[in-house]
Amino acid sequence: FLPIPIIRKNESGFYPDFDLPNSIGRVRSFFGNFLVLVKAYAYILMMGEDGLKRASEMAVLNANYLRALISKHLKVAFDRICMHEFVTDGTAFSKKTGVKILDVAKRLLDYGVHAPTVYFPLIVHEDLMIEPTETESKSTLDTYAEIVAKVIEESKENPELVKTAPHTTPVKRLDDVTATKKPVFRWKKQKK
């Protein structure tokens, strides 16, 4: 069932073998990327059993630490120990301030941090899914939580600042509807 061609060797060297009746056929990069598998395998070999276990433990520890910090400013959707990620529920926050969680995520960009996933999972409305990695330091997590707290405070004091974010990035607010209906996959200089 492997994709074709398979590289085989005969007396004259290597050749691509296309004669595999049970193959799924050709697979292009759209359907998969061989190098991703190589990188994952190399990572597993490099880390080993103990290293993978340690990385998992650190990811869980980081997520729970950050969850505890952020829960002081945003409601956590599932108030229990989490694995490597946690979800906030900003429904009450949005109703109170008029600021959507998407606006909060966009404002985080102004502080030079990556915006987390928004509006996923779909079972929680106005949510952020925050997933710190195992490599983040306590200092980095503390800084991130401070930035989130600052944006939440800005939402209460100056909602327009947050609603119109980002302000410091080269690209400002995108039209999400147009981006979905008419995607552009490469950058082009716009005519003035």
Which tens digits make up the pLDDT trace of 38-83?
899 999 999 999 999 999 999 999 999 999 999 999 999 998 999 9
Domains of the chain and CATH, by start:
30-181 (3.90.1150.10)
Q: Which residue has the higher pLDDT, 97 or 29?
A: 97
Which tens digits make up the pLDDT trace of 12-25?
999 999 999 988 88
Place of tokens 């395998």: 41
Output phi, psi for 19, to 5 deg. -90, 75
The pLDDT value given to residue 157: 98
Q: Which two tokens stand for residue 40?
A: 């994952």
The pLDDT value given to residue 80: 94
pLDDT band at 183 (very low <50, low <70, confident <90, very high): confident
Exposed e or buried b per residue across 25-37, where buried means at least 16 C-beta atoms within 10 angstroms of its C-beta = eeeeeeeeeeeee
Instruction: Provide the β-strand partners of residue 128.
Output: 88, 118
